[in-house]
Chain A
């Protein structure tokens, strides 16, 4: 005998599974809102099938789920009963006859044919001659008709859910310092990694949620460049991250979860120089990021835009797709001043004639320009500027530009 439990669409499946698992270790997750268990052997514990069903219903009600339950000889019939009949039902023979055929979940073509035939219920479908159905709807039709007759005979397919890779702890006293917090995290990470290891999995994302006293929870997510499961590394990474982004109030609870994936297995090339150990590299990068600020460590990548000298910093090993420089190779190298030097420029006829900036001053001996660019006009960060290449009386060659929105002049760099 089997009991099918059907919860309203959108209910918490995990809860439903938990609830069913209280009665039998063999739980089939038939769909996101339906589970089936075998109830053979439960009679001694709970009594008749109806009493078993009632017990399940009570248990579900305890956790806040309003469910429909049907008990039948085979899993399919139980599922159809639970989905089609409200409350608790023990499927007596013939009880299925009134169920709508849509519960059989037929393919579109068969559904359409049945509708055209005026077949609305299990009973009507079951009454059709079997060879007639076989001739017209084929093997699938026969299978569905058997189900409509309540004669399904498949075994239960119990699922074996992976335990959630999450740990949490409620604190008796709020924590103010990072050090005891790190100690706690270490413990949680140790358990988490042990569980990952036991399943042969690794984590490629860690999520930390710190409940705070009198403030919204402090959430951090640590996305790893590749899957790992070293508790030590995780702890260091989390500690560095927390140092950079400390919680704003005392911590009252800690929850940690990991997204588990298969670990990456890499065969190192024989002739390829050994790269630093990934864990170490990741840690080093995290330390550098802590020093120079996030977004300032990584490799530069040119952006696809006319905006002069725009690039972004991407994580190492991130994007392989490098932008191409459009500047031809004949240009001399340009040393950029970062940030560009604000300058005072005399430009009587629009052409710069004299330049004064921090460490740069002189008469303009020769100039080329303006080289004009503008763009991103549809966003706040629009730009429009004129660049000039100037030879100053100090003997050097500079790149000047003028912001065409506010008229300000800058020395952006010097040519070698």
Chain B
């Protein structure tokens, strides 16, 4: 990260020369950027600066929280600086009390105090009363200022736990206050303590501090006036400088060292305990887990073969040794809860590597059968909790599981992990631009620059981007903008809630970490994010909502209800030919993980024939294999066009199943284990070293070890280089095989259900929107092409959700845009209706606009013989309030004066009113025009020769410019026969940029590419077809 330097006039001169003297000093009052807009440096930067200045210790005292404490603790530990923890606590008397943690009791008290004040207030607010501070004073040290009531503090805190804090920032008024405070402290015999009230690590970061101050006060730098810092002195200063500043109070400096030595608390002594699982009398957690695993294994493995038995024994032994039985039992308990309540749950991620998890029903993939790597999940060397993530149906069902956890472990025994929202791209550009006082249009241009497209041309420097956006990079304000924009990157902005991570604790979680309310009612969040929790050994269970789980759950219910069949996801026929045939044809719209454009382009070449092929299919369209250039070699080998050679004979066993091409993370770890003799734990270390928080030094160190190991195993020369390169480029993005396998199960299940129970699957997909890759209009058109009859919304029969009227699907009232669920449900409850008047009369919840919308989409046709226009005419009258006198005088049976809707009008009303149409596709109305222009229908393209010039027309349903595609744009054009895939080269894109980005219907000329069943058109000419004002919605740039 770069930080800005100097000002509009360059850098100010340095201070006068300090008199060097050996002094010891500990900075005990520093805020980090985790005080959210009240300071400018990350905890790591502060710890790094402290180490550079040779501090033996330093304290982080953020405002009203311990948000930055874990990061500060670990950064300081690495830099060999002792980390003290504390917080500035806002008090209802209008002052702020800096409190330092002296002991574990103090830490617990501080957590309780912050939790109490936070939980009763709105988000980002809250203050403690003086009584509460006094109540929680034990084990805490208070740094008092002139605003504080010293006698009261002396009374509230233990003897020796109150210091009079003096700071010197070369400010006259501050000095006057200091003198008053020193006098008062002397009279009450309170020791003095020097601190610098640090808000930024270096003097240069004062600019960022000023920017954040302006953001916090919602003003601009020009207007902020005296809200900004008076000077740049609130940075970390070395001991000699502090000693010189406080030359008249040497005791204040000496006391910092004395106090530091008394602050004995370290953050790793949290006193955290994972809850114990209650087991029946006579059992231990280990024995209980072994019994449950054994029961499960006998059910899962039929027969329960020796390999599985050995693996399970090995795992149980390790679990017992690491004392993790309770954790597995608690996750098992959650899965049991789901099972008993009919909630689908499936473990994802590395847990799928464990045979114990498989036996307990936590995961659904057999790791023994698939030969998965257990060490990726759990290893003795790592000494940290394993990570079990559960996929749950998104929405209410997941909320039920979360509430079950709260209920089981108590409101203060469980909480969600936080998600720190940091300044990035657009938000950084906008806010920095705003405080610099740029007008709205410039702000718009700046934030658009920050990240307009996923893909960035490497030649496209910031300077060029600015020029292109009509901004002069030579302008000092614009230059300053760039500097500050880079400076605020990654600084925390506010605290959010992680989507599903929950921390559970034996006893009170608020003794371990402060809790605060989440935006969502009924939820509580800890002040740390999931990495912090993991680093400090807090066990976390991720309860993730997955749209597809909800779809599968609903599909099964609808099959039961309408097909009267019972389908068990665990018992699906494993090699269903129809399902595989659909996959091979890339006929996969709506199917989990294999429906995207990129997936569809690979499927016909991949031609999956068995389950493992789907695992590969899920894992291969990922940045790792794409960037690592593994996709094409794999596909060539798959098609028999290239020999499936492994890099080295010793790697044969690892790479054979992926035809010699490493595709998964586990394979890389195994390669390291086999080729370089790494242990399982070392291999996992390797993965972490190459992961998101990668460090150059660590990576180099590991490379040396890798090469040394390979030398020992006589793997040398280019093979060695290839292996090292594969590991290096891949470890970051590689997809875990276990994860791919879990997802592949869901992919297969969704493919199977779509193939055999199209109506139920489509209804479930439509009811769980938004999700997946395609808009409902595309899902409906696809289902119709597969022979499903879709019936329109109808107040006489439609439910709120889409339902089945075997063999057809009935659209639900939820598809009527603007109809509130309350009104929709009332309609369902109170039918049948004799007429529109009757409907209006008996459903008073219905508003005028809602009734009009129902009429416009034809949902009232059952009540009005004259069609949509008739229903509109009648409903417009029926909804008008009339007095009792005129109630009977309404015109009866008068002819409808409006002409019926034309087909085009109906189509328009459908798209406007529901976003979908069950009638003919808009392109069907244009077919004659298309034929006249010699255009080919999408369904005909695959019959045509490769290389032939073709013309196609259709509605744009997907526009994509993936980061890995070097500026190529992929379009999907839908017509009434199917979907045509269009490839746009960067040159053509530049030529037709506006048309491509804006037009809903396109006419395209180009060369047909038809190779191995993958059909696409490489566009050379693009034209917008006139729009109708309503059309299918395109899903852009994902």
> Which A residues contact B (CB, under 8 angstroms)?
113, 116-119, 127-129, 131-132, 135-138, 303-306, 326-328, 330, 347, 349-351, 369-384, 386, 404-407
Contacts and interface: CB of A to CB of B under 8 A. Distances in A.
B170 interface: yes
A118 B231 contact: no
Given A116-B852, A377-B207, 16 more contacts: A116-B855, A116-B909, A117-B872, A117-B898, A118-B899, A127-B897, A129-B897, A132-B891, A132-B897, A135-B890, A306-B228, A347-B16, A378-B8, A378-B480, A380-B476, A406-B13
A303 B225 CA distance: 8
Interface stretch (B109-117, B171-179, B183-191, B594-602): B171-179
B877 interface: yes
A382 B8 contact: yes
Interface string B883-899: 00000001100100111
Interface string B513-544: 00000000000000000000000000000000
B226 interface: yes
B230 A380 contact: no
B171 A371 contact: yes
A306 B894 contact: no
Nearest to B905: A118
Contacts of B159: none
Interface string B475-497: 01100100000000000000000
A340 B894 CA distance: 93
Contacts of B877: 132, 135-136
B289 to A, nearest CB: 62
A370 B14 CA distance: 13
29 contacts: A113-B852, A116-B852, A116-B872, A116-B909, A117-B869, A117-B898, A118-B869, A118-B899, A127-B897, A132-B877, A303-B225, A305-B225, A306-B226, A327-B172, A328-B173, A330-B176, A351-B16, A370-B170, A372-B170, A374-B232, A375-B231, A376-B7, A378-B7, A378-B480, A379-B8, A382-B7, A383-B9, A404-B13, A406-B13
In order of increasing CB-CB distance, the 4 nearest A-B pairs are A350-B16, A304-B225, A377-B7, A382-B7
Interface residues of B, number: 51
Contacts of B207: 377-378
A374 B856 contact: no
A258 to B, nearest CB: 32
B19 A117 contact: no
B221 interface: yes
Interface in B828-866: 852, 855-856
Interface string B8-41: 1110110111010000000000000000000000
Contacts of A372: 169-171, 230-231, 233
A382 to B, nearest CB: 4
A167 to B, nearest CB: 37
Contacts of A350: 15-17
Given A350-B15, A407-B13, A373 B230 contact: yes
Contacts of A119: 898
Contacts of A303: 225
Contacts of A373: 230-231
Contacts of B19: 349
A132 B891 CA distance: 8
Nearest to A387: B172
Nearest to A119: B898
Contacts of A127: 897
B880 A135 contact: yes
Contacts of A138: 880
B170 A386 contact: yes
B215 to A, nearest CB: 14
B32 to A, nearest CB: 22
Contacts of A349: 16-17, 19
B900 to A, nearest CB: 8
Query: Looking at A119, A136, A304, A351, which has the most chain B CB atoms within 10 Å of its CB?
Result: A136
Given A304-B225, A372-B233, A384-B7, A113 B12 contact: no
Contacts of B176: 328, 330
Contacts of A379: 8, 476-477
B221 A384 contact: no
Given A127-B897, A306-B230, A380 B8 contact: yes
Nearest to B169: A372
Interface in B114-171: 169-171
A257 B735 CA distance: 76
A375 B869 contact: no
Query: Looking at A137, A375, A404, which has the most chain B CB atoms within 10 Å of its CB?
Result: A375
B873 A374 contact: no
Nearest to A384: B12
Query: Looking at A327, A328, A376, A407, which has the most chain B CB atoms within 10 Å of its CB?
Result: A376
A113 B17 contact: no
A236 B640 CA distance: 99
A305 B224 CA distance: 8
A376 B210 CA distance: 10
B105 interface: no
B876 interface: yes
A373 B19 CA distance: 23
A155 B436 CA distance: 55
Contacts of A376: 7-8
Contacts of B855: 116
Given A349-B19, A350-B15, A118 B170 contact: no
B322 interface: no
B12 A128 contact: no
Query: Looking at A118, A377, A383, which has the most chain B CB atoms within 10 Å of its CB?
Result: A377
A306 B228 CA distance: 8
B876 A326 contact: no
A373 B10 CA distance: 16
A335 B232 CA distance: 28
A34 B899 CA distance: 34
A407 B872 CA distance: 82
Interface string B45-77: 000000000000000000000000000000000
A132 B17 contact: no
Contacts of A370: 170
A119 B13 CA distance: 77
A378 B477 CA distance: 7
Given A117-B872, A351-B16, A382-B7, A304 B480 contact: no
B901 interface: yes
Query: Looking at B173, B436, B898, which has the most chain A CB atoms within 10 Å of its CB?
Result: B898
Query: Looking at B10, B17, B206, B230, which has the most chain A CB atoms within 10 Å of its CB?
Result: B230
Contacts of A117: 869, 872-873, 898
Interface string B208-234: 001000000000010001101111110
B901 A382 contact: no
A132 B9 contact: no
A18 to B, nearest CB: 37
A219 to B, nearest CB: 26
A240 B228 CA distance: 42
A404 B12 contact: yes
A307 B480 CA distance: 21
Nearest to B4: A377
Nearest to A132: B897
Contacts of B12: 374, 384, 404-405
A349 B16 CA distance: 7
B246 to A, nearest CB: 15
Contacts of A375: 228-231
Interface in B981-1030: none
Given A118-B905, A378-B221, A384-B7, A128 B897 contact: yes
A125 B176 CA distance: 81
Interface in B63-99: none
Nearest to B895: A129
Given A129-B897, A326-B226, A378-B221, A405 B880 contact: no
B667 to A, nearest CB: 52
Interface string B230-250: 111100000000000000000
A119 B173 CA distance: 75
